Structure 1
């Protein structure tokens, strides 16, 4: 076992170091180990499991949600979000800094992508915040932290991948992500309010335009959020009320996103081409990763890695909280070198059986993994949100990572709360789905 595991680890590191695509590196490493340490026919195994994973019914929702996100990234949605939220955020300590968090929470409900959420919201909010004199560090940090909600708040592409690989209900995962997502957003809002109370200089004096607004004016400004909330209701509401499956809701979302693009005048032939190409690239990348991950998982099972590791961990007699803490440290380390999709697919064959044997619900564990992946989005040197903000502002990655640290600690606090109160992730699915 040690020889085969060492060969798998070394080959994977070598392939990734050579710049080979992650999915292909996983597939090559698994195939190499199978060829040397197993008598299982490689050709039929690759064919069978590739077809099985790529034809999973739940996976139909994935490309549809990706297409929906591609449409929304190319609309004027960022302007509508800022205009509709700013009059209300102005009433809170920290004022317009809250637009980053609230807008990311809303956009996460229709995008499914952390990078897309950060890009769309940051494109408008950072320009406005910095122009109005808000402190740069909290403006950048709050956007990077809040952008991670794109993975946690449904519909989330990474939830679909976890559901397919872990053989869990995607709908149940979507429902389970609602309360943790709102909890993380609330932690961010609370932190900004506390910072603004202790250090009022992070936000300039109240904007005269917003401070003189009457209630009726604020309500009128909120009408710009109408299309967004309608799209959220049509996609998520149709699932939660049992009207549509995740795949059907995703199709509704694509139509709604295209309608928003048409209404604001951005639905052109060029945009349609960019949406098609962007969606195809993303789907191909994810599909290859899932095939590689599936073959790697099957290889691990054939060679007995999960069972032996489970037995070894059992001898350590770790309490469940300590086991989760160790896993979290592993994910934080991996987040410095790997993207979120790759982290999940490479660790799931080992970590999921460990978590289940320790008594954790698989759906709860899925939400835990997603929060851990959120942390990887804001840890250098491979934190995707850091690169997105770097592209928007030109600030150094190291500087963006440093000002984002408080929000990384808040994500750790969210994990602690979920371990202490598992119902945060499991209560709502039990009520709505049973």
Structure 2
């Protein structure tokens, strides 16, 4: 069998197992075991243990349960309800109203966490129950959370960007700067779709609150001040380099506990419930990460990603045809691999092709990150789909269908930065001067 045929067979087995109701993490690990046992000369057992250890024994990953705990505290102690009360009067006249908080929350939190999973899990824990309680459309909320959660890897700092910068031998600072404008553009596209949908379906959006005076808006927004100050503090500390992402996550937990205690909404009961919820969600995410890491090892040993990239190279395409073909290749890889594995396994073949075609490597880094974002919401291995599935009980395919319009926004963003590369390159060139 050719490597492409082997990849198709493994994908079919994965879809069959997921459709049969096998746990997501177990499915990924079993498919990885079958691939190594049947199509390589490696020992699956030792690779399984090393993949599970390497994927979870990470200081950076310690930020994940801490950020999730921060979200649990905000959710369990009614701070999230107070935040929504403060935001409601300011968004009253905007089509979609409080639904925009999913995008704004993911954008702000993504800049702090640098993780798609942490962003999706934390904002979903805070926003989803409150939106549903207020009568907002569940399908739109799920779709927006699944896709807006991916802003965690586009808005700096981002682990995925660091991995790409190392693989491409490019400036990490330039790539970080290049992510800001595309991140803002993507947020506007998401919010634009929410506004358009709400305008088309006014009967499925809660009625607007009565108009209130500016002074009343300020008074109701007082509940926002403590949490807003906490978020601003975390962002400033992180951007100034005074603390790592994990340390910032710890500050976030301590700050949330302090705010909840001062507001007299923290009890031993909801503290314990928050700890249990954090443990369940964190274990679920880390188990899936481990299964995905083992499957990525299988892809590396079989050489399937490299074979796909080399096949594209033999076609001798024009620059824009090359970009279109690479988009298809990465979309296919995204059905079975996490973003970092996609970059690492294809960089050696793809980057010389891109440079030869005349594309800027910083621009291509943002292009890759956007494709990784699409992979996060692409079945069968859409990581954000798994996170929301385990948090809500909804099938991942249901969530994927809800995310489809926002998936289209991601595609539009990729098209815009391809036609107007200045969206990516202007800010790093303005801050650091043109690259040579």
Same fold (TM over 0.5): yes
Compute the displacement of 1:147 (Å).
Answer: 4.3
Residue 330 of structure 2 is aligned to residue 358 of structure 1? no
Question: Structure 1's 63 and 124: CA in aligned 2 closer, same or farther, altered over 3 A?
Answer: same
1:80-136 Cα distance to aligned partner (Å, 9 max, x none) = 331121111013244444344434444555563324423431211232144xxxxx4
Conserved in 2, the CA contact under 8 Å of 1:81 and 1:224?
A: yes
Q: Find the counterpart in structure 2 of residue 222 from structure 1.
A: 221
Task: Tell me by how many angstroms 1:415 deviates.
Answer: 1.6
Distance 1:163 1:24, change over 3 A: farther
The aligned residue for residue 127 of structure 1 is 133
State how many pairs are aligned: 405
Gaps of 5+ in 1: 131-135
Aligned CA distance change for structure 1 residues 334 and 48 (closer, same or farther; 3 Å): closer
Distance 1:154 1:196, change over 3 A: same
Q: Distance in 2 between matches of 1:284 and 1:181?
A: 29
Aligned partners of 2:227 and 2:132: how far apart in 1?
20
Per the alignment, residue 358 of structure 2 pairs with: none
**Residues 227, 256 of structure 2: 8 Å contact kept:** no
Report the 3-state secondary structure (helix = DSSP H, G, I; strand = E; otherwise coil) of the residue aligned with 1:62: helix
SS in 2 for 1:184: helix
Question: Is structure 2 residue 296 aligned with structure 1 residue 290?
Answer: no
CA drift at 1:363: 3.1
| Paired position in structure 1 for 2:31 | 25
**8 Å CA contact retained: 1:180, 1:425:** yes
Instruction: Write the deviation string for residues 51-94 of structure 1: whole angstroms up to 9, x where unpaired.
Output: 77766xxx422222332223313533431331121111013244
Query: Structure 1 residues 166, 154: closer, same or farther in 2, change over 3 A?
Result: closer
Q: Equivalents in 1 of 2:166, 2:290: separation in Å?
A: 16
Aligned residue among 98, 114, 123 for 1:117: 123
Distance 2:51 2:86 in 1: 48
State which drifts further: 239-248 or 95-104. 95-104
Determine which of 253, 258, 275 is the counterpart of 1:272: 275
TM-score normalised according to structure 2 size: 0.72
SS of 2:134 mapped into structure 1: helix
Query: Contact 2:70 / 2:122 at 8 angstroms: preserved in 1?
Result: no
Query: Are the aligned partners of 2:157 and 2:176 in contact in 1 as well (CA < 8 Å)?
Result: no
- Alignment partner, residue 249 of structure 1: 248
Of the structure 1 ranges 60-69 and 162-171, higher mean CA displacement relative to structure 2 is found in: 162-171
The question of whether the paired residues in 2 share the 8 Å contact of 1:180 and 1:424 is answered with: yes
1:270–1:422 distance in 2 versus 1, CA, 3 Å: same
Distance verdict in 2 for CA 1:49–1:164, change over 3 Å: farther
Give the whole-Å Cα distance in 1 for the aligned partners of 2:344 and 2:220: 49
Once residues 258 and 291 of structure 1 are traced to their aligned partners in structure 2, the CA distance between those partners, rounded to angstroms, is: 36
SS in 2 for 1:376: coil
In structure 2, do the counterparts of structure 1 residues 50 and 204 end up closer, same or farther at CA, with 3 Å as the change threshold?
closer
Following superposition of structure 1 onto structure 2, how do residues 172-321 of structure 1 map, counting pairs within 5 Å? 176-194=178-196, 203=205, 206-208=208-210, 211=211, 213-260=212-259, 262-263=261-262, 264-265=265-266, 268-293=271-296, 295-296=297-298, 298-300=300-302, 309-321=308-320
Shift of 1:187: 1.6
Cα distance change of structure 1 residues 246 and 11 upon mapping to structure 2, 3 Å threshold: same
Cα distance in 2 for residues equivalent to 1:284 and 1:70: 18
Distance 1:161 1:190, change over 3 A: closer
Q: Contact (CA 8 Å) 1:53, 1:290: kept in 2 or not?
A: yes
The answer to whether the 8 A contact 1:378-1:386 is kept is: no
Instruction: Note the alpha carbon deviations across 1:285-330, whole angstroms, 9 max, x for none.
Output: 324432542x335424xx6x56654443223123344344344445
Q: Which runs of 5+ in 2 are unaligned?
A: 356-360
**Structure 1 stretch displaced more, 305-314 or 230-239:** 305-314
Deviation larger for 62-71 or 174-183 = 174-183
Tell me which residue corresponds to 2:413.
Answer: 414
Q: What's the RMSD between the two structures over aligned residues?
A: 4.6
Sort the Cα spacing of 1:242 and 1:317 in 2 relative to 1 into closer, same or farther, 3 A.
same
For 1:313 and 1:155, locate their aligned partners in 2 and report how far apart those are by CA, in whole Å: 26
